[in-house]
Chains A and B, each alone.
Chain A
Amino acid sequence: MIRSMVMENKFLLIRDLHVKVGDKEILRGLNLDINRGEVHVIMGPNGAGKSTLANVLMGNPKYEITKGEIVYEGKVLNDMKVDERAKLGIFMSFQYPEEIPGITVENFLRSAKMAIEDKPIKVMEFKKVLKEKMKLLEMKEEYAQRYLNEGFSGGEKKKSEILQLLILNPKLAILDETDSGLDVDAVKIVAKGVKEHKSEENSIIIITHHNNLLEYLNPDYVHFLVDGRIVKSGDISLIDIVEKEGFESFKN
């Protein structure tokens, strides 16, 4: 009884999660607890299952949960559709954002915001908000009228993801390798955007294998993900261990 009360109060609970892609098991009994307003960092070597975790939280149909549970605000997410999760406030910043030629950034984002909030939003009102957020991310205004991600550089695509984050204002943001492939200046801008989003209400999961972004954000927890499991959790001081020793010592 007490345990279930605790579970209901938790923001996000992942219990013994096993996930398959095709025939291959990637996550093998992953556990993770996240409270409201916390910033968690997930680090790990290539192939450990970091992106899988992001995709399975968002509900990518390519990933199959074979065992375990994801509980978000007391609701089991396992079989929930992608758009329903988005409407509950879950957002993923993609490692490789898709290009959607034919739909402008502005139209896409306004429609998305209306879909999530399920109410109409006036064009002028939206333009104003969009302009503010773009300014913060040092994006040229003309980008609002460009087709979504089409012909964007790597850095511009990542900024476009953070712009979407700021506009949609989700309760749980999962940033999948948002800092990879960015130069120092772009990382600073992305960090500024993420900081803007951070609040007592909003939780953030940052998946990375650099500490570029972390210099600017103050994560509450750092987790090492190795071979499909969280092998160590702690505070930011864990990052120094990785810097010195890598993940080798955590492998079986």
Chain B
Amino acid sequence: MIVIKDELNSLPIKTYRWLNVNHLKLDERIEKDRKPFCKRFFEEMDDDNISIGSINNIVTINQHLSRINNEKQEYGVSGKMVDMAENFNNAGVYAYIKKGADIEKPIRIEYGMDRENDVVIDNNIIVASENSRATIVVDYCTLDDIDAFHNGAMKIYAKPGAAVTVIKIQRMNDNSNHFDSNIAVVEDGAEVNFIQVEFGSKRAVTNYISNLKDGGKSAIYSIYIGNRDRELDLSYYMNHIGRRSISNIEVKGALKDRAKKVFKGTIDFKLGSSKSEGREGESVIIFDKTVKSKAVPLLLCTEDDVKGEHAASSGKIDEDKLFYIMSRGFSKEEAMKLIVEASFNPVIDRIPLEDLRDIVRDELARKLIVEERI
């Protein structure tokens, strides 16, 4: 039995309680046990510049990690959820990229949950050495009509000058739960970019943190769809520690039926982060009046020589645009789907694998058109 009695995705600074955005309070018992995940979930790489393996040899890895990083920091959707992922996992990948290596082929991790393997608790660690470059694609999906459970953690260490892109696609079915915690340590002149596609699950709670040192860069491009009674709680935190660090959070979504979404984006300019720049923006297309959409963009400054920008917008679909598209033969649903797809395309185009781009576009159409007709 998995019991979640916790406050998830807490804001770094509390706001009025009546706003109801400080955290997501859960008290749930999920009728599942932690059991092994008996499927292959990553592709071996035929490349000497990278070593990749299952996370199970945790002792060696922890020794390895303690050499590269002594910092302890709380992260993730909550301390307990991260503890579950780090210490009671049944899956996960450890990847180490050698100095200066440029790994062109994306590292592909796929958790396809089925009847026998409906629980994924994964702990993933990516170490990108100095001036290396790599892309990691993780796909969480359900293959059977099951109620799956996923709780995962991913730590990314980008050493000076390294560049890492992480693409996370979540398209689990409407009966499933999804919790995901990510932290990137972005050292001097390194860059970590996240691309997040959040299309599935009854409940999706995700958390991304980037710690930026001198000249570090991090961007998050996220797209989400909320339909039916699904809930999303999305939290992002850009922690500017070093000078001249740059961050960007760009979130785009579409909400229909009775879906609920909370977006929390924080840009934190710590003392010493002078000449840093951070921007964040969330825009959501609202299909129905019955949705609930909340956005909490926060700018925290203990340094004054910085530039921060934030914006959140939500709106119904532009009637003139809808008329224009429909005048070319598209039904109202198709036209609305087209507008969402148009807004999501720049993010979908960042997925480096064609088959996954197609899957994401099909899923989008399914969520916005096909499920409409059921």
A interface residues, Cβ below 8 angstroms from B:
58-62, 81-83, 85-87, 91-92, 94, 97-98, 100-103, 108, 111-113, 115-116, 147, 164, 168
The reply to whether B329 and A87 form a contact with Cβ atoms under 8 Å apart is: yes
The CA of A101 and the CA of B341, in the complex, are separated in Å by 10
Q: Is the CB of A115 within 8 A of B342?
A: no
Complex CA–CA separation, A112 to B326 (angstroms): 9
B positions within 8 Å CB-CB of A: 318-321, 323-332, 334-335, 338-339, 341-346
Knowing A103-B338, A103-B345, A115-B334, say if A98 contacts B320 (CB, 8 Å). Answer: yes
Q: How far is the CA of A108 from the CA of B324 in the complex (A)?
A: 12
Question: What is the CA–CA distance of A249 and B59 in the complex, to the nearest angstrom?
Answer: 94
Residues of A within 8 A of B325 (CB): 98, 100
User: What chain B residues lie within 8 Å of A60 (beta carbons)?
Assistant: 323
- On chain B, the residues within 8 Å of A100 by CB distance are 321, 324-325, 338-339, 342
The 8 Å CB contact of A102, one of B320, B330, B332, B341, is: B341
In-complex Cβ contact of A81 among B326, B328, B343, B346 (8 A): B326
CA distance A168 to B325 in the complex (A): 13
Q: List 10 A-B contacts (CB under 8 A).
A: A59-B327, A83-B331, A86-B327, A86-B328, A100-B325, A103-B338, A112-B328, A115-B329, A115-B331, A164-B328
Q: Within the assembled complex, what's the spacing in Å between the Cα atoms of A147 and B343?
A: 11
Q: Which residue of A lies closest to B333 (CB)?
A: A83
A92 to B327, CA, bound (A): 7
Tell me which residues across on chain A come within 8 A of B332, comparing CB atoms. Answer: 81, 83
Question: A112–B152 Cα gap in the complex (Å)?
Answer: 42
B327→A102 contact, CB < 8 A? no
Contact across chains for B324 and A115 when beta carbons are under 8 A apart: no
B330 neighbours in A (Cβ, 8 Å)? 83, 111-112, 115
Partner of A168, one of B319, B329, B334, B345: B329
The interface residues of chain B lying within 8 Å CB-to-CB of A101 are 342-343
Does B328 lie within 8 Å of A168, measured CB to CB?
yes
Q: Which residues of chain A are near B342, meaning CB under 8 Å? A: 100-103, 147
Q: In the complex, A86→B326 CA distance in Å?
A: 8
Docked Cα-Cα span, A82 to B323, in Å, equals 7
What is the CA–CA distance of A226 and B346 in the complex, to the nearest angstrom? 47
Q: Give the distance in Å from the alpha carbon of A59 to the alpha carbon of B320 in the complex.
A: 12
Closest residue of B by beta carbon distance from A100 = B342
Beyond A87-B329, A100-B325: 8 further Cβ-contacts under 8 Å?
A60-B323, A81-B326, A86-B328, A98-B324, A100-B324, A100-B338, A102-B342, A103-B345
> Quick one: which of B323, B329, B331, B341 contacts A103, CB cutoff 8 A?
B341
A102-B350 Cα distance, complex, nearest whole Å: 13
Q: Which residues of B contact A147 (CB under 8 A)?
A: 342
Provide the bound-state CA to CA distance between A213 and B266, in Å.
Answer: 55
Contact check, A116 vs B329: say whether CB atoms are below 8 A apart.
Answer: yes
Q: Choose one: B329, B339, B344, B345; the contact of A86 (CB below 8 Å).
A: B329
When distances are taken between beta carbons in the complex, the residues of chain A under 8 Å from B323 are 58, 60-62, 82
Q: Which 5 A-B pairs have CB atoms at the shortest separation, nearest pair first? A: A102-B342, A116-B329, A115-B329, A82-B326, A112-B328
Distance of A115 Cα from B334 Cα, bound (Å): 9
CB distance from B33 to the nearest CB of A (A): 44
Q: Specify which chain B residues have a CB less than 8 angstroms from the CB of A97 in the assembled complex.
A: 324
Hey, which chain B residues are within 8 Å of A59, CB to CB? 327
Name the CB-closest residue of B to A167: B328
Give, as a whole number of angstroms, the nearest-CB distance from B346 to chain A: 6
Residue in B330, B339, B341 with the greatest tally of chain A CB atoms within 10 Å? B330
A82 CB contacts on chain B under 8 angstroms: 323, 326-327
Residue pair B346, A102 in contact (C-beta under 8 Å): yes
- B334 to chain A: which residues have CB within 8 Å? 83, 115
Closest residue of chain B to A117, judged by CB?
B329
Q: Are A112 and B341 CB-contacts (below 8 A) given A60-B323, A97-B324, A100-B321?
A: no
| C-alpha spacing A147/B339, complex, angstroms | 12
CB <8 Å contact, B324 and A83: no
Enumerate chain A residues within 8 angstroms of B346, measured Cβ to Cβ: 102
Smallest beta-carbon distance A158→chain B, Å: 14
Q: Collect the chain A residues with CB atoms within 8 Å of residue B324's CB.
A: 94, 97-98, 100
**List of A residues within 8 angstroms of B335 by Cβ:** 83
Contacting pair A83 B341 (CB below 8 A): no
- Report if A83-B344 is in contact (Cβ < 8 Å); known contacts: A100-B321, A115-B334: no
Q: Are A102 and B344 interface neighbours, CB within 8 A?
A: yes
